[in-house]
Structure 1
Amino acid sequence: MSETKTALVTGANKGIGHAIAAGLGALGYRVGVGARDRSRRETAVEKLRAAGVDAFGVPLDVTDEESVTTAATLINRLDVLVNNAGISGPFGPGWVQDPTTLDLDVVRTVVETNVIGVIRVTNTMLPLLRQSPSPRIVNISSSVASVTRQADPDIAIGPIMAAYSPSKSFLNAVTVQYARQFAGTKILINAACPGLVATDFTGFTGRTPEEGAATAIRLATLPDDGPTGGFFEDAGVIPW
């Protein structure tokens, strides 16, 4: 009988991250709930356990080196890493981040979480992932990261988000670099777009977190001959 696989989902105390944790748990994975806030983390773990998921809490702030290093010591096995934790940064009127007036500190803060935090967590967890027979990494991106779509006036929709959107484009580019580095290994890494999901991030507009989690769960459980270095949504591949 095969050993139970373990997944770590960052930012899993609510929204899409919690739905991903629940979905992987329903498939039999032991799931680490990565979150900064102790109370919210414990509540999320309790909720998952009540649903039959083998969940455990992982104190984790992706922007803090010591926090991430300590988190790795709490996990003795890791097969799946889902880098879900992310922030948008503040918006101006109309939910806009105007590039002509954007505070550079906002850009730095968003990139620190959405890009550098992903690199920090991924590299710290790599020794554990390399021991897995089928390691998978999923980076939660967004369709607004698609430069192709954003540059096409017939496709681009929604407000201008001059900090958040480029941070996710940056994350996509980093994902590709990891895929190149992992070529010839067992590690598959991809970026997933959950779509517009009803969470506090979107003002609770959009589809359910469970629907938004579907692509990430699929990429987290890919067969060994699955794709790597790609950018996916429910409908398939998203153009860069």
Structure 2
Amino acid sequence: MSTSLERTARDLASAMAGLDLKGRIRAIESAIPGRLVFTTSLGIEDQALTHALAMAKGRTEIVTLDTGRLFPETYDVWAETESAYGIRIQAYAPERVSEESFVREEGINGFRHSVAARQACCGFRKVEPLSRALAGAAGWLTGLRAGQSANRSDTPLAEADDARGLIKINPLADWTRADVDRFVIDNYIPYNVLHDRGFPSIGCAPCTRAVKIGESERAGRWWWEQESKKECGLHVHQPEANVQPGQEAAAFESTPRNSNLEIAR
């Protein structure tokens, strides 16, 4: 028996399917009357969505999770984005007591001790702040794409998040990385320069490396762990069994190092 959330998500996904990104934003804000929150990691997909939301001048709030361990380049593009669009991206940070406790018990880079320790680190740096960011929200927008990894291959345009009591919306779910890059280039959107240095996916600095030729986009995230474990806990419905890496090549594999992205800056 489907819930009201499931029906709303199904109807919204159907409505979004034939629309461009601008139309999808309008459809989302029309279908969900309550509070809408977009959580940006300031990665390239999220920059595309930030641009669309800023241009739409709608009511969706743009927030980010400042883990305290981000790359300097991420903070740079954060400031550049606010300046370019005349907006403020609201930050949610870890609770200080939780951070101090973890570092005291595990060490500054204790997340490498075990999967459990890494998940605990993601828990207080990302998951708990996310719960505060989404408090009272009716809809949650993300930059997830099905092509990012095998763990995300079944990402829908919209789905019911019963645990949080909201609709989770992924407006770029059916976009390829090439689609994202083209949109960013065509619209002169600010983006993280690390994308030009072999980082298709960017998280916390100690937990992200450049990917190698043939690896999936998210292979550089928590690279010391098994593929099936490599999610921070923000996004649910992940398979428990081991999976194969995603098959979509990172954009720079088929793009010269002096890429259009770099030129567009």
The structure with more radius of gyration? 2
TM-score, normalised by the number of residues in structure 2: 0.34
TM-score, normalised by the number of residues in structure 1: 0.37
More strand, by proportion: 1
